Structure 1
Amino acid sequence: MSAADVVYCMLTALFAAAAVRVLRHAIVSRRLAWRGRVDLSLHAAMALAMAVMPWNGVRILPAVPLTAFFAAAALWFPLTAVSRRQESRLTATARRLPYAVGMAAMAWMAHSMAVPSHETLAEGFPAAHQAAHLGHSAGGSKAGDVVTGVLALYLLVCALRSLTRDMPTLCRVPDTVALSTSFRDLYGHFWDGSMTLGTVIMLLVHH
């Protein structure tokens, strides 16, 4: 087994476990409103799609519908932001922004799968047009590098924040109830950060 296969196996295990966790939470939790259930369904769909993508997902998954689905999912999170007490609409939207960017990254990866390689496109072109075509492809490649870099950097910051945000408070938990709450929050933040970090790796692997 190659090093790439080991990474693919780890990513598949991570996203499959994340999908099971999200689906279990959606089924067990009875207090979730319809918006929360849609959120969880989108997260589960993203995790399942990413679990398949490392194993030649370009042939298994329909790339164009997948791109449209996750582009719509990326819009869903900011458009359905609900303000909490003493919270502005802008703050509520910013709170859901990492999820929107994660869905946008998934749409970007699906879009990249749908675009044929430069070599495949160039095969059918006359020699007179190949130089212009390759120049256009190089420009598109640079733009793609920028998009991938921005998405990866933002998601990396979000992942590190989720994985480390509770560390300073772990030694200052006052009682059993607070301890239980702290571990529940830590558990949720761990999964959020892990899935976001896995998304970053997938972005770089598929670029």
Structure 2
Amino acid sequence: MDTPVDIVHVMLTMLFALAALHALRHGVRSPGTGRRDRVDHLLHCAMAVAMAAMAWSPGRPLSGRTMTVLFTAAALWFPLTALHHRTPDTAAAIAGRLRPAVGMAAMAWMLRTPHGRAVLSHENPTGDVPVAHHGATLSHTAGTGATGAWVTGLLAVYLLVCAMRSLTRPMPSLRSATAAAHRAAATDPYGHVRDGAMALGTAVMVLMPH
């Protein structure tokens, strides 16, 4: 019988697989979309595929500098491309692209090499560690762990808020539709649902131990 954790992994895998297929379809096949939109969709697809693989990856085989740099660059792509055309509503354009940027940043955060593993790799394998050095190491590790917990918590809370906003946005009784929202819905009718599901799944992955 599957454990509850396995069931969660299966559900997350299905969610990310569907999100990847949807993003890939719009990134490759949608006519009339600009280059920036195509790159956005392909980045979403890559993130969803990596998330689906991470759910079943013991020992963090996906972690490493290359993957971390890739998703850090993806996190910078979204706000920086909003600055390409400077308009009076540039600030609003950047704010509108913060959700995917934070999602990519959360992916890079999850793929980082755990500090504790690096500390262990520098210890003497015979166990002969000076008491003063051992105490300083424990103090530094505790401080890093507290900072990591704060960063993880803030990422999860922000992504949960974004998930609820995206999932309720198509509901006319909860949120008024604007002309921009109508245009977005015409080109990507399930985009809000995909974005909300991705944000929700990412928040769960951030909080889960991998």
Fold equivalence (TM over 0.5): yes
1:189 deviates by 1.2
Verify: 1:88 aligned to 2:92, yes or no.
no
Q: Deviations over 1:50-90 (max 9, x none)?
A: 00001126453242211100001100000001689x85111
The answer to whether structure 1 residue 50 and structure 2 residue 51 are counterparts is: yes
2:208 partner SS? helix
Change (3 A) 1:76 1:115: farther
Measure, in 1, the Cα distance between the counterparts of 2:91 and 2:188: 24
SS at match of 2:72: helix
RMSD: 3.1
Q: Tell whether the 8 Å contact from 2:115 to 2:141 is kept in structure 1 after alignment.
A: no
CA drift of 1:167 comes to 2.1
Aligned with residue 164 of structure 2, among 160, 164, 173: 160
Q: Which residue of 2 aligns with 1:8?
A: 9
Tell me which residue corresponds to 2:108. Answer: 107
Tell me the TM-score normalized by structure 1.
0.84
Query: Is the contact between residue 116 and residue 141 of structure 2 (CA under 8 Å) also seen in structure 1?
Result: no
The share of aligned pairs that are identical, in percent, is 48
Provide the residue aligned with 1:206 in structure 2. Answer: 209
Q: How far has the Cα of 1:36 moved from its partner? A: 1.1
C-alpha change, 1:115 and 1:41, in structure 2 (3 Å) is: farther
Cα deviation, residue 168, structure 1: 3.4
Tell me which residue corresponds to 2:135. 131
- Alpha-carbon shift at residue 169 of structure 1 (Å): 3.8
Structure 1 runs (4+) greater than 3 angstroms displaced: 57-60, 112-115, 117-125, 181-186
Counterpart CA distance in 1 for 2:34 and 2:116 is 38
1:191 matched to 2:194? The reply is yes
Distance 1:134 1:21, change over 3 A: same
Query: What's the CA shift string for 1:121-141, capped at 9, x where partnerless?
Result: 656461422222111100000
Look up the match of 2:19.
Answer: 18
Q: Deviations over 1:90-122 (max 9, x none)?
A: 111111011100000000001145862766665
Q: What are the Cα deviations for residues 1-49 of structure 1, in whole angstroms up to 9, with x where unaligned?
A: 2111111111111101110111111222121111111111111110000
Aligned pairs, number: 201
- Structure 1 residues 89 and 182, CA gap change in structure 2 (3 angstroms): closer
TM-score, normalised relative to structure 2: 0.83
> What is the CA–CA distance in structure 2 between the aligned matches of 1:82 and 1:28, rounded to whole Å?
26
Question: Structure 2, unaligned stretches of length 5 or more?
Answer: none
Q: Cα gap change, 1:70/1:77 in structure 2, threshold over 3 Å: closer, same or farther?
A: same
**For 2:115 and 2:145, how far apart are their aligned partners in 1?**
14
Q: Partners in 1 of 2:24 and 2:188 — Cα distance? A: 18
Which shifted more, 111-120 or 96-105? 111-120
Map 1:50-69 → 2, pairs under 5 A: 50-56=51-57, 58-69=59-70
